[in-house]
Structure 1
Amino acid sequence: MLIGIGGVSRSGKSTLANLLVTYFRKNGKKAIIFHQDDFVFPETEIPKVRDKTDWESPSSIDHDLLFELVEEFNTRFEVVIVDGLFAFYDENLNDLYDKRLFVKISKRSFFIRKVADNRWGYIPTWFVDHIWKSFLKYGNDKNIKGDYITVSGEDEFDMEKVRKYVD
């Protein structure tokens, strides 16, 4: 089974992916996660916006390599999970998914979480706004082809709903 998990930055995609891989492994399934962030091009190859690296552009991700590895691992694992802002952007990958989950949070929650995220240092407000706009353009649920469910990332995940969908 191949599962795609998409949503805006800081929505809980990786948390949900980790919860699912743990669930599958506890139930005796061989499961693995691919985080789209692990497939970014070198910073020098990523476009800039106002002299800042635009990690929120689909051209920042090596979609071909991700697709190639997911295709290969999908034959070696019972469950493969892909999470990322652009999880549903690449049509080839989108067509492979058996299950699609979209993690939704409000714009307000996104702003609060993103401003509090100091992993990369200070993020200017204009760039946080740019991230939201990029999500609306490239990562929103309108890009999903096929059936999917939406789960709230505002609080704890409704894992009963998620498990019913993936089982």
Structure 2
Amino acid sequence: MLIGIGGVSRSGKSTLANLLVTYFRKNGKKAIIFHQDDFVFPETQIPKIKNRTDWESPHSIDFELFKEVLILFREKFDVVIAEGLFAFHDTATNELLDKKLFVKISKRTFLIRKSMDTRWGYEPTWFIDHIWNSFQKYGKPSTEIKNLLSVSGEDEFDMEKVIKYICK
């Protein structure tokens, strides 16, 4: 089974992926997570915005390699979880996914969580706004996507609802 998890930065995608991989492993399944962040092009090939690398562009992701790895590992694992900001952007990858989870948070929650995120050092306000706006433009799933469950990332995940959806 291939599961895609999408959502804006700091929405809880990795947390949900970790909860799911733990659930499946506890139930005797071979499960693995792939983070789209691990499939970015070299920095020199990524577009810039105001002299900053624009990680928030779908042009930063090597979707072909991402898709190849998913196909390869689908044969080796019972459950493959793919999470990322642009999880639903690439049509070819989307068609591979058996189940899709979209983690929603409000802009207010995003801003609060992003302000506490110091992994990348100082990020100017304009860039934080760019992250949100880029997600609105490229990261939100289209209404045409099938097998999609939206879940709130505001608080703890309703894992009963998520597992019921995945296992049906």
With structure 2 as the length reference, what TM-score do the two structures score? 0.97
Structure 2 unaligned spans of 5+: none
Give deviations 1:50-88, integer Å, cap 9, x for gaps: 011100000101110010010010011110000000001
Q: CA RMSD in A?
A: 0.9
Q: Shift in Å at residue 93 of structure 1?
A: 0.7
| Structure 1: distance between partners of 2:43 and 2:18 | 27
Letter in 2 for 1:136: Q
Number of corresponding residues: 167
Partner residue in 2 for 1:83: 83
| Structure 1: distance between partners of 2:140 and 2:148 | 12
Q: Is the 8 A contact 2:99 2:166 kept in 1?
A: yes
Partner residue in 2 for 1:64: 64
Partner residue in 1 for 2:16: 16
| Structure 2: distance between partners of 1:161 and 1:23 | 13
**Structure 1 ranges of 4+ moved more than 6 A:** none
SS for the counterpart of 2:142 is helix
Letter in 2 for 1:149: L
Partner residue in 2 for 1:130: 130
Structure 1 unaligned spans of 5+: none
Partner residue in 2 for 1:117: 117
Partner residue in 1 for 2:34: 34
Percent identical among aligned pairs is 70
Letter in 2 for 1:24: F
